[in-house]
Structure 1
Amino acid sequence: MAAAIERLLSEISESEDPLEELRSLRTAVSETPLSGLRESFSAPQLRVIFSLLNTNDKEQVEVCVDVLERVLQVLDPTHLVQNCKSELQSGLNHPDDSVKVLALSQIGRVVSHAEGTIEVLNNPEILQDVIQSIGAERISVSKEAIATLLKLSNTKAGLDGLFHSDLLKDLKDVMAISDVIRYRVYELVVELSLVSPVCLEYCANSRFISQLLEELTGDDVLIRATAIEMVTNLAQSQHGRQYLAQQGIMDKISNMIIAADSDSFSSFYLPGLVKFFGNLAIMDSPQQVCESYPAFLNTVFNMALNPDPSLTPVALDTLGLLGGTVEGKQVLHKTGDQFKSVLKRMSQLARDGATDLRVRSLEAITQLLVLPVEQQTDDLLLLTESWFASLSSQPMEMIKHISTQPFPELHCCALRIYTAIACQEWAQRLMMSTPGFTEWVVDRSVGKGKEAKDCKFELVGALLSSPSTREIFGAQNYLKLKTYLQEGPYYVSAVSSVTTEGAD
């Protein structure tokens, strides 16, 4: 195969219309093991393929890109940038986006190595073109440019090159192109800030983060919503949260939540504010966040009770997020009747809402009710039991009725609620006192499709994981559940046909 590649490369370099030979080369390259390609292409031969990108023939460009993508991945990155520097830079300015992405991905490989980083930093015009690519119309090009700059910033030399040189001005110039491009740069800055406190310090000293934080209170509500999303991402790291706290951002966002009541456009950004505190509560402490910023939980409750369907999904997701932790359950329980009203609203949505809201409600209810054996205390078991009873006058029947709906997602969500309570003694006694429930659990004809079968299997597994199941369900039912588990989720009983002599 190496000889065939060498012959084709020779023919391509001499041909005026090399498309046919390029097609054959693509086939040969794709069929050659990567280990065998390394020695097949010299730097001059690579330059020939790169030069053939300079055409208006889209197929020729496509074939060249396919060949280069395959070959370049086996070449040493430093060797590549030393021998094909101008070709890579030309690729960054090529009119075809696939060529730009190819060049960016290869520069990303180069700057992932210390020697390659130094080589690229000594040629800042390459990085200037990478930065300009953030402003590309095609998002795939922009994403690859951001990924390349993130790889560059993995070293101190790369950080210094990006933030302590003329490249910083290039980055700020790109930001000025449009709102969309500005937020692509913010995306880069936030991703980089998450890497380490040192990276955050570089971004903060360059005033990118303070500029982002100023946009939280801008006049454009859509820009404000996007800024909140970015700040929420920044809070994913502990050092990011510490920085935001030092800047007073938690208090600022809490005040924005309070002021949202008097803003007719708040529905555009209020969900983002709630998401911010919801994530903060899970990463730090539900109790601390809810006590420090009471406006957060009050707003979540109001959004859940609000008939505006645009606010409900975030409220349901946040309640599920909080209720999925023991501390969060205790925080919600302390609100007393206020949360009971929200729970009734969730139950109503689960029964009568639009399908997406029904699914979200059921998922949130599942999180509220889940209580693994190792977390169970008498107080928490009483809490989940009272919440389950608040769903309906007959909650077992309500959930079972939802499971019979002709929508697989609803069927599975209902099963997951049963799974969430399956290892809690009060729930097991309720299951046993519900006529036909145990028979329904082991009935394989209920629920079609892989997901439904998997959900039923998880329910059986959850029941058997509890030490109280054998006593409450009885030996016979326990054996049926154990047999079900041993047979697996997709078991089908064999039906034998017996023919009697003389029968019709």
Structure 2
Amino acid sequence: MVFTFTYGVMAASIESLLEEISGVEDPIEELQSLKTALLSLPLSALRDSVSGQRFHVIFSLLHSNDREQVELCVAILERILMALSPVTLAQNYRSELQGGLAHPNDTVKILALTQIGRMAEHPDAATEILNNNGILGAVIHSIGEDKLAVAKQAIQCLSKLSHSKPGLDKLFQSDLLKVIKDVMAISDTVRYRMYELVVEISSVSPISFGYCANSSLISQLLGELTGEDVLIRATAIEMVTTLAHSQHGRQYLAQQGIMDKISNMIRRAETDPFSSLYLPGLVKFFGNLAIMDSPQQVCETYPAFQNKVFEMVLDPDPAMIGVALDTLGLLGATVEGKQVLQKTGEKFKAVLLRMSQLASSGATELRVRSLDAISDLLTLQPEQQTEDLLSLTESWFHLLSNQPMDMIRNISTQPFPELHCAALRIFSAIATQLWGQKLMISTPSFMEFVLDRSAGQTKEAKDAKFELVGSLVGSSTAAEILGSQHYIRLKTYLREGPYYVTAVTSVSTEGAD
């Protein structure tokens, strides 16, 4: 009963503070008191306290040049409006929120858009908004705002609205489609924000994709791929790659001949002095496509892609090398991808040698990306460990260097935590494979290196070493290959956990023999 009474008193004080605020000329002090009162109540109690009250006075105080006053009003309204249901908001505060979208202060715009977003997620409240072209038009115009945070919030609002058929109808089959296209004409930046929204809506379902395609906005985006401006082209390829993440998106792109178009762009890139700006995006597109569909099908249908990846690894430009390494890692992580790479014979041997050089020297970021790609290439799940695939990963490992075990171990002892962890991931990759375990036990002092807790003191390094130990212990052949003594020590390491520290006891020897 005490709590009910306390909250009741608090509700009464909120009401009296609102009355005070409406009666004073400079309400800063009263607003501060109201903010304190609101923050002292949990949302559940606040819901009861504010449900019957009207807060139009706070909205009216937003129209001020006093920055402190506006910020206090925003803080108060954030708290109050979150306590109200989306339906209550839609019924009582539509015009105030619409006014907030035209406010010169960005925090007021974001407040309004956040609350409109809450309404957009609620079926009954969303109906109220869908019947209000003024609010929807203002939200669409907010995508054209200078402040990115405002535009992002507006994109979220419209994305939420599009999760229903009435929302899709309103955005793409009414006068609002013209508003969308008019806002897109503001600038290249705003146009791409709108594409971002369209791509997001398209990915939800084949139905929502259909609405976007019928609006001609997707074909407009695809037209940007071959535009004159190379920077616009680079942004367009990113959007199209996202579009390809869904199966219905990929089907549409294939029907429109976009895969062939991008393959031709890769071919022609050699004669374009600005191709370095968009080429990485084209390669990423096919890399993603290969993982989602089939590495073999993509590499065989679009040989320009695979050839370009091999070329890029040998390129002097770090941006090209990085994308090529990541793509090789993506391809090589799958069995089908490994087989596709192996088929290229000497070409891939040259690539592996280059990867080994990159892992051993150069900029740290490229070294890490190279090591990560190598570990992806060498990884085989237990069910994938056929004789042929084990022979393939073993031959690749030996192509890295005359002494690959020493090479990787040397990298792991360098004073860069990210290199240390990346090198350990390679050892984890081969630790589950019979040939890898045989190499480990035949390499002098290697097992001591594995069991040594003093190397690599960061959390990431300890986790990477623990993963290596886990890979060894989890293998069905480890006990036999490594011997019982090593196996027992590895199991102890695993049981003690990654962060175990051996206690060192100091014993006084004074007066002893």
TM-score, shorter chain, exceeding 0.5 = yes
Extract unaligned runs of 5+ from structure 2: 1-9
1:476 match: 485
1:299 match: 308
2:474 match: 465
Query: Does residue 370 of structure 2 align to residue 354 of structure 1?
Result: no
1:315 match: 324
Residue type of the alignment partner of 2:39:
S
CA distance in 2, matches of 1:138, 1:234: 26
Q: CA deviation digits over 1:379-400, x for unaligned, max 9?
A: 0000100110011111100101
Whether contact under 8 Å (1:43, 1:84) holds in the other structure is: no
Residue type of the alignment partner of 2:286:
F
| Pairwise CA distance, 1:41 | 2.0
Residue type of the alignment partner of 2:351:
V
2:199 match: 190
TM-score by length of 2: 0.96
1:393 match: 402
1:265 match: 274
Query: Does residue 324 of structure 2 align to residue 283 of structure 1?
Result: no
1:340 match: 349
Whether contact under 8 Å (1:135, 1:177) holds in the other structure is: yes
Q: CA deviation digits over 1:149-192, x for unaligned, max 9?
A: 11111111111111111111100000000000011111111111
Quick one: which of 433, 440, 443 aligns to 1:431? 440
Query: Does residue 182 of structure 2 align to residue 166 of structure 1?
Result: no
| Pairwise CA distance, 1:501 | 5.1
Residue type of the alignment partner of 1:147:
Q
1:450 match: 459
2:449 match: 440
Whether contact under 8 Å (2:378, 2:429) holds in the other structure is: yes
| Pairwise CA distance, 1:467 | 0.5
CA distance in 1, matches of 2:393, 2:180: 53
Q: CA deviation digits over 1:464-488, x for unaligned, max 9?
A: 1100100011010001000000000
1:201 match: 210
| Pairwise CA distance, 1:64 | 1.6
CA distance in 2, matches of 1:4, 1:490: 54
Query: Does residue 185 of structure 2 align to residue 176 of structure 1?
Result: yes
> Superposition pairs for residues 135-154 of structure 1, below 5 Å?
135-154=144-163
TM-score by length of 1: 0.98
Query: Does residue 500 of structure 2 align to residue 488 of structure 1?
Result: no
1:420 match: 429
Whether contact under 8 Å (1:43, 1:83) holds in the other structure is: no
| Pairwise CA distance, 1:44 | 5.5
1:66 match: 75
Q: CA deviation digits over 1:303-333, x for unaligned, max 9?
A: 0111222211100000000001111111111
CA distance in 2, matches of 1:56, 1:42: 30
- SS of the equivalent of 2:48 reads coil
Q: CA deviation digits over 1:201-251, x for unaligned, max 9?
A: 111111101111111111111111111111001000000000001111111
CA distance in 2, matches of 1:469, 1:31: 60
- SS of the equivalent of 1:379 reads helix
CA distance in 2, matches of 1:437, 1:115: 66
Quick one: which of 42, 45, 53 aligns to 1:36? 45
CA distance in 1, matches of 2:468, 2:40: 48
Whether contact under 8 Å (2:11, 2:50) holds in the other structure is: no
| Pairwise CA distance, 1:503 | 6.9
Query: Does residue 386 of structure 2 align to residue 373 of structure 1?
Result: no
- SS of the equivalent of 1:45 reads coil
Residue type of the alignment partner of 1:304:
V
- SS of the equivalent of 2:402 reads coil
- SS of the equivalent of 1:306 reads coil
Residue type of the alignment partner of 2:17:
L
CA distance in 1, matches of 2:52, 2:153: 25
CA distance in 1, matches of 2:430, 2:482: 15
1:109 match: 118
**Runs of 4+ in structure 1 over 6 Å off:** none
Residue type of the alignment partner of 1:337:
E
1:84 match: 93
Query: Does residue 63 of structure 2 align to residue 54 of structure 1?
Result: yes
CA distance in 2, matches of 1:42, 1:461: 57
| Pairwise CA distance, 1:27 | 2.1
Residue type of the alignment partner of 2:214:
N
CA distance in 1, matches of 2:462, 2:174: 59
Aligned pairs, number:
504
CA distance in 1, matches of 2:218, 2:391: 46
Please say which of residues 197-206 and 312-321 is displaced more in the overlay. 197-206
2:420 match: 411
* Identity within the alignment, %: 69
Please say which of residues 102-111 and 25-34 is displaced more in the overlay. 25-34
Residue type of the alignment partner of 1:34:
L
Whether contact under 8 Å (1:2, 1:36) holds in the other structure is: no
CA distance in 2, matches of 1:43, 1:185: 39
Whether contact under 8 Å (1:277, 1:296) holds in the other structure is: yes
Residue type of the alignment partner of 1:468:
T
Whether contact under 8 Å (2:74, 2:107) holds in the other structure is: yes
Q: Residue 261 and residue 43 in structure 1: after superposition, are their counterparts in 2 closer, same or farther (change >3 A)?
A: farther
Whether contact under 8 Å (1:460, 1:485) holds in the other structure is: yes
Q: CA deviation digits over 1:441-480, x for unaligned, max 9?
A: 1111111111111110010001011001000110100010
1:213 match: 222
CA distance in 2, matches of 1:268, 1:500: 70
Query: Does residue 25 of structure 2 align to residue 16 of structure 1?
Result: yes
| Pairwise CA distance, 1:95 | 0.7
Residue type of the alignment partner of 1:128:
G
Residue type of the alignment partner of 1:301:
F
Please say which of residues 271-280 and 303-312 is displaced more in the overlay. 303-312
Q: Residue 5 and residue 502 in structure 1: after superposition, are their counterparts in 2 closer, same or farther (change >3 A)?
A: farther
Whether contact under 8 Å (2:397, 2:404) holds in the other structure is: yes
